Structure 1
Amino acid sequence: MFSLYTDAATQPQTGLSAGGILIIHDHQQTQLKQLLTTTNNHAAEFEIARLGFLKLAALVGPACATTTVLFYTDSQIVNDSLTKHYAKHYQSLVDDLLAAQAPFQLVLTQWVPEKQNQGAHTLANQALHSAEDAK
């Protein structure tokens, strides 16, 4: 079983977005930071979640078909959209995220408050600050 935590950070003034991915398996952590292409926080949350599943699939390889993933997000819209398989303004992003989850045997999505998602949150903010410093 793998635990996957994702979070996005967006700076509205600059339009920059970044995300953090935290993968935990057998008490081992994989921490990833990623600059994102989206410029609003909701879209960034979907983008980093999709990227998290793609990174996890690359890490797990063919064993995805027998792997259970506990997915944690502090984004209410991502959580609700995955439950309904629908989001009025973000349907293509929901579809992309569901496709990224498809290789796994089972994905259990859990909304968590931001304070319980500090690992991914910190990684997202670090990536965002690095991108802002580079501008």
Structure 2
Amino acid sequence: MQLYTDAATTPDNQRSAAGILIIDQGQQHQFKQVLPDSDNHTAEFLAAIAGFKTLLDSYGPQVSVFFYTDSQIVAESVAKGYSKTFSVELATLLHLQDQCQLVITQWIAESDNHGAHQLAQQGLHLSD
């Protein structure tokens, strides 16, 4: 199973949204969700959290997942298990990941995260 997440934030008012793309046996499942207003880095963590909540709600615990993010701070924080600035968000994300059988986190270039990015952009317009 593959999970792609991305966040979009409007700089002038910090409105944020998440794009979540789950690929299960070749089938794509697309989700977009309004997030609390925040800066982009916080929104990336919140998008990852929303992605894992959606994954666990849809497929239950004990799934194995490749998690892809274009946020270096999310990928590095997960790898280290530490973040000074985003400790609360990281703890929530790691708790969700612990419910999975296996999680392999991979940073990818923004250009390789197009599906989740488009969904996040669409999510910004959900609260219009």
Name the TM-score, length of structure 1 as normaliser: 0.91
Counterpart of 1:55? 54
Name the TM-score, length of structure 2 as normaliser: 0.96
Q: Secondary structure at the match of 1:129?
A: coil
Select the residue among 52, 71, 83 that pairs with 1:75.
Answer: 71
Select the residue among 112, 117, 131 that pairs with 2:113.
Answer: 117
Counterpart of 2:17? 18
Q: Which amino acid is the alignment partner of residue 32 of structure 2?
A: K
| Number of aligned residue pairs | 128
Q: Using the alignment, how far apart are the partners of 2:75 and 2:109 within structure 1?
A: 12
Counterpart of 1:4? 3
Q: Among the aligned pairs, what percent are the same residue? A: 49
Q: Secondary structure at the match of 1:4?
A: strand
Larger radius of gyration: 1
Q: Which of structure 1's runs of 4+ aligned residues deviate more than 4 A?
A: none
RMSD value, Cα: 0.9
Counterpart of 1:98? 94
Q: Using the alignment, how far apart are the partners of 1:20 and 1:110 within structure 2?
A: 17
- Which structure 1 residue ranges, 5 or more long, are not aligned? none
Q: Which amino acid is the alignment partner of residue 113 of structure 2?
A: N
- Which structure 2 residue ranges, 5 or more long, are not aligned? none
Q: CA deviation at 1:130?
A: 3.9
